[in-house]
Amino acid sequence: MKHLILLLSVFVLAFHNNRGDHAAAPAPGAENKPLNVILMIGDGMGMAQVTAGLYANGGRLNLEQFPITGLMKTHSAKNLITDSAAGATAFSCGCKTYNGAIGMTAAKKPCPTILEQAEALGLATGLVATSSLTHATPASFIGHATDRQFAEEIATYFLKTNIDLAIGGGMKYFNHRKTDTRDLYAELQTKGYTMSNFAEKTFEQAMLSLSPEQPFFWFASNEEPASVEEGRNYLPIAARMAPTFLSQRSDKGFFLMIEGSQIDWACHANKGDKAVQEMIDFDEAIGEVLKFAEKDGNTLVIVTADHETGGLALLRGEDKESLSLKFTTDYHTASLVPVFAYGPGAELFSGLIDNTDIYVKMRELLRFPAIEAK
Ligand code: MG
Ligand code: ZN
């Protein structure tokens, strides 16, 4: 019964826009608009993934600190079931596009991303992921490609903006390229980046050479980073350092995207334990970001998902205290996903919204002008 009540309260939280006792303090700026925006994407993180993580973590998650919750539609231009590329492009550009599109409209025109806009207007920018940096979700913020498979093409976009911070895997797409002879790692170094990677330093060691004077890159792996189960631990640490670092890089504010990439992968593989570990790791990162936002008072934090993965159902377990995780598919589903918001402007993210609204609301809150795709 206790579990049922707890479970019901999860849904009550989601369906009513609850203003809890952690309500955000008003921002010092005009019109309650944030200086900084941190968008956190749990890839494949539906309600069931959140719920499973919550009970596996002793009934608590940092997500409970958010005063504003909402629900979001995730469909892409032509598919009720989106992929992560179209899902992330809805967040980064505000347009519904075809599955597989990276920062491209449905008409295959590059759409200006929120990260590119932020960079052009003098804000600091960052991407942190537990996938390769060229994988669909981070890729859709930095680059433009007609297909998510073009990882080497996507990597070149890291040299086209002046992104301040990038943390993730996929180093081979930068320095062991098959489509050309460029060494983007060396090029970034020449451009002034503090470059480091897993082969020479752990993330903690790499942070020792961190200086706000220089933009920073750290590669977690050549290909895709390890899972939590395999020992990956950099996401919460990166979530702790990134906001402070970016706030030192520009007084105009920053835009940061942090992705818990592997909740999705665990659910594709129908591995419930793994999905829960990835969910809890992502929630730890959320806790670190909230600590910054609470102290700063000028930062909007949005946590959401591009889609649900696995059609996860939480069934009665072996005893009253346990759940049995059952997947109904190895692909994504069309379920609405949760949205959590904290900080100046958070109230705009309540209700039942569309994935493209995330972009529109972020852009308006950051006072960026609307731009058309070229
Ligand atoms: Mg992803
Ligand atoms: Zn997926």
Is 374 inside any structural domain?
no
User: 370 pLDDT band (50/70/90 cuts)?
Assistant: confident
Q: Residue 6: name the closest of 263, 277, 321 by CA.
A: 321
Top pLDDT among 32 and 146 is at 146
pLDDT computed for residue 31 by the predictor: 65
Is 371 inside any structural domain?
no
Q: In angstroms, what is the span from residue 43 Cα to ligand 1's centroid?
A: 5
Ion ligand 2 residue ranges (Cβ < 5 Å): 264
Distance of CA 55 to the CA centre of its chain: 22
Whole-number Å distance between alpha carbons of 37 and 239: 13
Query: Residues 285, 278, 45, 225: what is their CA dihedral angle, to the nearest 10 degrees?
Result: 90
Tokens of 202: 């752990």
Ligand lying nearest the CA atom of residue 306: 1
Domain of residue 260: give its range: 2-19+34-365
Ligand lying nearest the CA atom of residue 131: 1
pLDDT computed for residue 371 by the predictor: 82
For residue range 300-311, list pLDDT tens digits in order.
Answer: 999 999 999 999
Is 26 inside any structural domain?
no
Rounded mean pLDDT, 182-205: 96
Q: In angstroms, what is the span from residue 206 Cα to ligand 1's centroid?
A: 24
Strand order across the 351-354 sheet: 194-197, 216-219, 165-169, 124-132, 254-260, 36-42, 299-304, 337-342, 68-73, 351-354
Rounded mean pLDDT, 41-54: 98
3-state secondary structure of 140: helix
- Least confident span in 139-153, 155-169, 199-213, 228-242: 199-213
User: 178 pLDDT band (50/70/90 cuts)?
Assistant: very high
For residue range 315-330, list pLDDT tens digits in order.
Answer: 999 999 999 999 999 9
Residue 14 has pLDDT above 90, yes or no: no
For residue range 87-106, list pLDDT tens digits in order.
Answer: 999 999 999 999 999 999 99
User: 343 pLDDT band (50/70/90 cuts)?
Assistant: very high
CB atoms under 10 Å from CB of 205, counted, come to 11
User: What is the Cβ-side half-sphere exposure of residue 349, based on CA atoms within 13 angstroms?
Assistant: 32
User: 209 pLDDT band (50/70/90 cuts)?
Assistant: confident
Q: In angstroms, what is the span from residue 249 Cα to ligand 2's centroid?
A: 33
Q: Which amino acid is at 133?
A: L
Q: In angstroms, what is the span from residue 285 Cα to ligand 1's centroid?
A: 16
User: 18 pLDDT band (50/70/90 cuts)?
Assistant: very low
Is 129 inside any structural domain?
yes
Ion ligand 1 residue ranges (Cβ < 5 Å): 43, 84, 137, 261
Residue 200 has pLDDT above 50, yes or no: yes
3-state secondary structure of 257: strand
Residues in the chain: 374
253: phi > 0 → left, psi -120 to 50 → alpha, else beta; which?
left
Sequence-separated (6 or more) residues with CB below 8 Å from residue 162: 119, 125, 215
Catalytic residues, by residue number, are 84
pLDDT computed for residue 27 by the predictor: 45
Is 55 inside any structural domain?
yes
Q: Provide the whole-model pTM.
A: 0.92
pLDDT computed for residue 374 by the predictor: 66
Sequence-separated (6 or more) residues with CB below 8 Å from residue 281: 130, 228, 232, 235, 236, 260
Residue 5 has pLDDT above 50, yes or no: no
Q: In angstroms, what is the span from residue 192 Cα to ligand 2's centroid?
A: 34
DSSP string for 9-73: HHHHHHHTT---TTPPPPPSSGGG--SEEEEEEETB--HHHHHHHHHHTTT--GGGG-SEEEEEE
Ligand lying nearest the CA atom of residue 130: 1
Rounded mean pLDDT, 28-49: 89
Rounded mean pLDDT, 73-99: 98
Q: In angstroms, what is the span from residue 74 Cα to ligand 2's centroid?
A: 13
pLDDT computed for residue 29 by the predictor: 44
Q: In angstroms, what is the span from residue 266 Cα to ligand 2's centroid?
A: 9
Mean pLDDT of the chain: 93
8 A C-beta contact, residue 110 and residue 120: no
Ligand lying nearest the CA atom of residue 129: 1
Ligand lying nearest the CA atom of residue 257: 1
- Least confident span in 31-35, 102-106, 164-168, 178-182: 31-35
Rounded mean pLDDT, 216-221: 98
Rounded mean pLDDT, 195-211: 94
8 A C-beta contact, residue 160 and residue 182: no
DSSP string for 153-189: HHHHGGGTS--SEEEEE-THHHHS-SS----HHHHHH
Is 27 inside any structural domain?
no
Residue 23 has pLDDT above 90, yes or no: no
Q: Between vectors from CA 62 to CA 61 and to CA 64, what angle results, nearest 5°?
A: 80
Number of domains in the chain: 1
Top pLDDT among 9 and 293 is at 293
- Give Cα separations from 336 to 68, 114, 273, 282, 307 (angstroms): 16, 23, 23, 19, 7
CATH number of the domain to which 278 belongs: 3.40.720.10
Alpha helices in the chain (DSSP H): 2-15, 47-56, 84-93, 114-120, 136-142, 151-156, 172-175, 184-190, 203-208, 234-249, 262-268, 272-296, 355-365
Q: In angstroms, what is the span from residue 172 Cα to ligand 1's centroid?
A: 18
pLDDT computed for residue 186 by the predictor: 98
Is 91 inside any structural domain?
yes
Is 276 inside any structural domain?
yes
